[in-house]
Amino acid sequence: MSIDNEIMQEFLVEAGELFEQLNDQFVELEQNPDDSELLNAIFRAYHTIKGGAGFMKLTPMVEVCHRAEDVINLVRQNELQVGAELIDVMFQALDELDGMFAAVRAAEALPDADADLLQKLDALLAQRGDAPDEPQNEPPGEAASQPDAQAATAEATTAKDPMDAEFEAMLQSAQQDKQSALPPGGDADDLITDEEFEAVLDELHGKGRGPAAPVSDDSPATGGDADLITDEEFEAVLDELHGKGKGPSTAHAGVSSQTRQAEAPATEPAATAAVPVSAVDQAADNVVKPDEPPANAPAKKTPAKKPAPPAETSVRVDTARLDNIMNLVGELVLVRNRLSTLKQSVHNPSVCDAISTLDLVTSDLQASVMKTRMQPIKKVFSRFPRVIRDLARKLKKDINLELIGEETDLDKSLVEALADPLIHLVRNAADHGIEPPEERFAAGKPRQGKVTLSAQQEGDQILLTVSDDGKGMDHNVLRRKAVEKGMMSEDAARALTNKEAYNLIFAPGFSTKDEISDVSGRGVGMDVVKTRINELNGTIEIDSSPGEGSVIMIHLPLTLAILPTLMVNLDRYQFALPLTNVLEAFNMEPQSINVIDGQEVIRVRDKPLPLFYLHPWLVRDAEFGGPQLTQKVIVVQMGNQRFCLVVDHIAGQEEVVIKPLGNMLVNTPGFAGATITGDGSIALILDISSLMGAYAANSAVY
């Protein structure tokens, strides 16, 4: 394709937005098949995509859109009924278009439209009801041309909005009236008959009072009859009827209106074209109004003021530019942190005030730039009505999806990364959680199950919740499955709390399904969800009540670009601990430490928590002297697990910009990246999840 890349990107953006809306609109249409506004919106979306694809010469895409548009048009005309089968075909068309969009984005050759899909769309078009009967007694010539005329009319009608279609119908009716008024051998020009011409004059002046009527001698020369019109006005009437320069006779344009009226019967036979009455009335209304001043009065022309065009309120910006701006703001934050540290050693009040002002401006700039990267989580939520609808049909269940907090803003990188984890959670809620309608009815529940997907902001975090009102999880079944799969012994399974038993579903390869289907049962998905959430510096929790349903809660930071951390020291080295993992911190108390099964634990709020020393893990060149009174204990949460980390010193909180490690260190377990601290030194950012994984794999070393 030789289309300009910028135009192509513009098409992909606009058509992609319409394509995403169509998924929601079809789900809503199935529930409200008589919503005419919704039908018109779907029709316009297909028409817009088809027009853009045609301009880009994307023929297969045009082919699918055109047939889908015709199907929706038949629904609008009540010639097709909305049903599950029709919606299935329309969703198949959307999937086909989705594949085509992906090919265009990847600059690949556009595949041909699926023949099976086109056949299904044609079958829907063939089902149109109330189709007009074919005319029986028509001349051969007209009968041969009728299908082509009907096809052209249908094409013109489906290619326009409802108002455009009505306008086209009016023009077609006028043309048919004009053709039917022609006598045999007549010429279809712009002439009107004498009788119609007289009717026009009667409409303008009253019967028998046309401009050719003799003027009374005692009428004032300047005043005249108020019902008469001038030659110029008469010419304007003719221009309105026939177009400028075309009159009702073939005489030259300089002939006066009186002469033209007198000569018309002699020079023009009755075989002239007819003009629809509606057009004559419209022309008359445009020329003379009842409350207008006399015709010979000077007309006051006031030029109409054109309304000022609305100002542009938005602009599209490439995401790479936003990322670059965010990186620059991150560097500015580092400089701000550096100056804030130096401020303590500067004794010049003016310099201190300037640093404080810079601190405020940088914070505001950082918040503003972060907002430009924010997107409503509706971008992710919008795909789930279609997911639930398809699953409900496949599983033969009745499921209603409720979306809450769709306008909650989230960093665009998180929005993109959340799609797959949430799909896994929603599919599991529909498959594992919601019971079949008969089972729900027998248990005294409504036959329709409910899945709720919600989002809300809590401080500098986002809380996502996936809940259902299904059968919930049985912790005893989870324990038994864990033993059967060899994940733990029976004694260890019995020692699990109910909440710990629920968290077994996040273990790799764990599944409660006895049969494997294309929806679930392979034991993959939930462990991927947990891994992905941990990579996003988030946590995931699950709770359930047998017979009542389950709730999965995900906590995520608002953004990944700038990370709030707790700066800690081990010997002479500094490390950054993500603040989202930190619950609390307190001074070390060696007398509170006990050993259970070879693992040191410390009692926190009457509950023993595992105790780990970061010193031997991260600082290999220093000797570790065991627990000391000067050390600090940090309570950390990772997923549903809580444990304590021991450090030498806590330096305080600091917002840091994550810098990736070099190629030689990128796969080092326990580290998410590095940053520059306020004193100008380099600090490594800890990744608690991979750090604990590395400790578990090498626990014999420590």
Rounded Cα distance between 610 and 587, Å, is 16
DSSP codes, 574-633:
EEEEEGGGEEEEEE--GGGEEEETTEEEEEETTEEEEEEEHHHHH-TTS------TT-EE
> Do the beta carbons of residue 566 and residue 335 sit within 8 Å?
no
Q: Six-digit token pair at 677?
A: 């601290």
Q: What is residue 244's predicted lDDT score, i.e. its pLDDT?
A: 53
**Interatomic CA distance for residues 639 and 572, integer angstroms:** 30
pLDDT in the model for residue 461: 80
Residues 526 and 405 in one domain: yes
- The predicted structure's pLDDT at residue 682: 86
Q: Does some domain include residue 164?
A: no
176 domain-assigned? no
pLDDT digits (tens, 9 = 90+) for 306-358: 566 566 677 777 778 888 888 888 888 888 888 888 888 888 889 999 999 99
* Of 588, 532, 533, 569, the residue nearest 654 (C-alpha): 569
Residues 389, 348, single domain; the answer is: no
**Number of folded domains that form the chain:** 5
For 10, residues 6+ apart whose C-beta sits below 8 A from its C-beta are none
Q: Are residues 567 and 539 in the same domain?
A: no
CATH code of the domain containing 424: 3.30.565.10
Domain co-membership, 419 together with 477 = yes
Q: Answer yes or no: is 575 within a domain.
A: yes
CA gap 342, 156 in Å, rounded: 73
Please give the structure tokens belonging to residue 216.
């009374």
DSSP three-state, residue 683? strand
- Together in a domain, 531 and 421: yes
Q: CB neighbours (10 Å) of residue 92?
A: 17
Same domain, 365 and 470: no
Strands 593-596 and 599-604: antiparallel
**Vertex 153 angle, CA 151 and 154, to 5°:** 65
Residues 505, 584, single domain; the answer is no
129: CB partners within 8 A, 6+ apart: 78, 79, 80
Is 636 part of a structural domain of the chain? yes
Residue 362: which residues within 8 A CB-CB, separation 6 or more?
329, 332, 333, 336
439 with 489, same domain: the answer is yes
The answer to whether residue 186 sits within a structural domain is no
171-204: b (≥16 Cβ within 10 Å) or e? eeeeeebbeebeeeeeeeeebbbeebbebbbebb
Segments in the chain below pLDDT 70? 1-4, 128-194, 196-197, 200-231, 234-312, 511-525, 561, 621-627, 639-640, 696-702
Domain end among 557, 591, 622: 557
Looking up residue 682, the CATH number of its domain turns out to be 2.40.50.180
Say if 143 falls within a structural domain: no
Burial (0-12, 13-18, 19+ Cβ within 10 Å), 308: exposed
Whole-number pLDDT of residue 241: 59
| Claim to verify: residue 512 and residue 390 sit in the same structural domain | yes
Whether residue 344 is found in the same domain as residue 452: no
Same domain, 529 and 399: yes
Give the CA diameter of the chain: 130
Give the predicted TM-score (pTM) of the model: 0.58
* Of 574, 579, 557, 580, residue with least CA distance to 676: 574
- Domain edge (last residue) among 109, 131, 153: 131
User: For 127-187, where are the alpha helices, taking DSSP H only?
Assistant: 140-158, 162-180
* Residue-wise burial string across 625-652, b where 16 or more C-beta atoms lie within 10 A, e elsewhere: eebeeebbbbbbbebbeebbbbbbeebe
pLDDT at 578: 87
Q: What are phi and psi of 286, to 5 degrees?
A: -75, -20
* Contact between residue 457 and residue 471 where contact means Cβ atoms under 8 Å apart: no
The answer to whether position 158 is within a domain reads no
How far is it, in rounded angstroms, from Cα 538 to Cα 555?
5
**DSSP code string of 517-533:** -SSS-SS-SHHHHHHHH
Which pLDDT value is given to residue 176? 59
**Domain range enclosing 264:** 194-212+227-287
Residue 445, sorted as left (phi over 0), alpha (psi -120 to 50) or beta, turns out to be beta
Helix (H, G, I), strand (E, B) or coil at 228: coil
Residues 396 and 427 in one domain: yes
Spatial separation of the C-alpha atoms in residues 297 and 224, rounded to whole Å: 10
- SS3 of 93-125: HHHHHHHHHHHHHCCCCCCCCCHHHHHHHHHHH
Q: What is the pLDDT of residue 289?
A: 44
Domain-embedded: residue 189: no
CA dihedral over 79, 81, 85, 90, signed as positive or negative: positive
The domain that contains 50 carries what CATH number?
1.20.120.160
Residue type, 309: P
| Residue 456 DSSP SS3 | strand
* Residue finishing a domain among 77, 112, 131: 131
- State residue 14's pLDDT score: 80
CA distances (Å), 115 to each of 63, 591, 638, in order? 11, 76, 51
